[in-house]
Amino acid sequence: MSSGIENSGLDPGASGGARHGGAARGGAFDVLVIGSGIGGLVCAGVLAREGLRVCVLEKNPQIGGALQTYTRDKVLFDAGVHYMGGLAPGQNLYQIFKYLGIMDELHLTRLDEDAFDTILIGDDPTEYAFAQGYDRFVDTLAARFPAERAGILAYADAIRDVCSRFPLYNLRAGGVYSEKAGVLETDARTTIEGFTKNEKLREVLAGNNILYAGQPGKTPFYVHALVLNSFIESSWKCTDGGGQLAKVLARSIRSHGGDVRTRAEVTQIVEENGRVTHLVLADGSKVYANAIVSSLHPAQTLALTPSALLKPAYRGRIGSLENSIASFCVNLVLQPRTVRYEKHNYYYMRPGCAWTQTGYTGADWPRGYALFYGRSRTDPSYASSVTIMSYMRYDEVAPWAGTFNTVAHAEARAGEGGAHAEARGADYEAFKRRKYGQLMRCVAERFPELAAEVAHWYASTPLSFRDYLGTADGSLYGIVKDYRNPVKTIIPARTKVEGLFLTGQNLNLHGILGAAISSLATCADLLGRDDFVEKIKNA
């Protein structure tokens, strides 16, 4: 392991501000973390527990990134966390959260063990269930495809084999690149279709690939495997929304001497004599530390860092990487006691569109969608809400790209018209209404009761995700992974500027689990050791 902060002359807990000749507002820190999404918070939590004084800086009034929740008509909605995997005792995300001291504070409900996800294809009345636990998963699919049991079993074995090759995913310290090198260059679609010639089963096995924005001839099988494996092991919903996860992580960080600050927008990452020294905030203040971790998109991090050590070729490579597609999301507030709550999620696709949903045209949108139920707090047998998500390309909202709808941006524009100056206009609202109608007509083909029981609806576009979650183009999952050139699309945590590190979903894998695992890699690089991984495994 290469040397990190603990081998740089700064002991954990020492004053980074004094080291660099300045004082941070409210005190000096060992590490500053930019962004309070799951990647930034887990990274800060680990470093705080390992003895470093950490401060998380969030530009928005609310922490959490995609963990955020919001209320409409007294109904709670999640911005991005609709369910999580790997949260049963001994599983990877459970152990990470237990180590961070937050597992017992989370309010979780396990999804249906016989069907955490249900795949629907066109007008085929059959519901194809993905069950929790590998034996149940195989048996449930084999009941629908009796002649394909051997292929289904081989598929399940392949997922487990691929997952076993990723050390940090298995909370194994001291892993080497060669363990996973052999599985990085396999195509998801080709691999899945190699297990069966049954066209319907092929579609089913790829049926929930909106979880990773699957693309034919590009998405690696390891992405499919790492994502699906966690849900097969165990699948859970946050009873009171994903926002609770951000709150308990922030409390954990503070309880170990760290800090989490909102309305603290970083405008520059400053390097002097080859290493980072401090951050400049939008209010002109400076915060000093020995190391800086950015959970922003790598391209956004580079834009904040004018250092000549980050060569034009590197900047160009990062800037050229493809981001995953964005989404159109509809949140439905339902009439009370009208729609039964389902303890599983639905993934619908038009026939033949398992791998082509992102290639929609204006006429055939949407080619598929994901549907998530929200349980009523007053009567748990009923749903109080439904969230429906489908792909949407950023270019569809390009006419309004110059408008912004964040609280922070509206405050910054005070005196120039304030919040009303940021309204996107009647044509944008008409666009959302048109898209809502298209999506709901498609949904009504399989869920005719939903449209009839909608009390209110609210829609989010790629611009909404851009403004509130900080992704430059509303991307769902950050940088697209490509099996044809895996090294290019896996971003190292360490940069050429000493003391500047990256973390978050863009590095290795997206989602709650993916960003958390990436944070462990960042912490290992920063600390210069990975013995804390064993502590997590045995927490």
Residues 358 and 455 in one domain: yes
**Residue whose structure tokens are 């998109």:** 297
Q: How many Å apart are CA 53 and CA 280, to the nearest integer? A: 19
Q: How many Å apart are CA 383 and CA 335, to the nearest integer? A: 9
CB-CB neighbours of 491 under 10 Å: 20
CA dihedral 442→424→395→333, nearest 10 degrees, is: -30
> Does residue 120 sit within a domain?
no
DSSP code string of 153-203:
HHHHHHHHHHHHT-TGGGT-TT--THHHHTTTT-BHHHHHHTT---HHHHH
> 375-406 pLDDT, tens per residue?
888 899 999 999 999 999 999 999 999 998 75
Is residue 416 over pLDDT 80? Answer: no
Pair of tokens at residue 153: 């079993």
How many domains does one find in the chain?
3
Residues 345 and 458 in one domain: yes
Torsion sign, CA atoms 484, 490, 492, 495: positive
Select from 476, 506, 527 the last residue of a domain: 476
Q: According to the model, what pLDDT value does residue 510 have?
A: 87
> Does residue 490 sit within a domain?
yes
CB-CB neighbours of 184 under 10 Å: 21
Band of residue 299 on the pLDDT scale cut at 50, 70, 90: very high
CA distances from 225 to 71, 495, 518 (A): 34, 28, 16
The alpha carbon of residue 82 and the mean position of all alpha carbons in its chain are separated, in whole angstroms, by: 11
**CATH code (residue 259):** 3.50.50.60
Residue-number span of the structural domain to which 74 is assigned: 5-107+239-322+486-537
Residues 422 and 316 in one domain: no
Amino acid at 186: T
Phi-psi region of 474 (alpha: psi -120 to 50; beta: other; left: phi over 0): left
Query: Average pLDDT, whole number, for the chain?
Result: 89
CA dihedral 391→393→399→405, nearest 10 degrees, is: 60
Pair of tokens at residue 453: 């029981």
> 37-81 pLDDT, tens per residue?
999 999 999 999 999 999 999 998 989 888 887 788 888 887 778
> Does residue 140 sit within a domain?
yes
Q: According to the model, what pLDDT value does residue 471 have?
A: 77
Residues 277 and 314 in one domain: yes
Torsion sign, CA atoms 467, 472, 476, 477: negative
Select from 435, 456, 476 the last residue of a domain: 476
Asked if the bond preceding 380 is cis, omega within 30° of 0, the reply is: no
Residues 446 and 388 in one domain: yes
Select from 476, 504, 519 the last residue of a domain: 476
Least confident among 95-99, 483-487, 522-526? 483-487
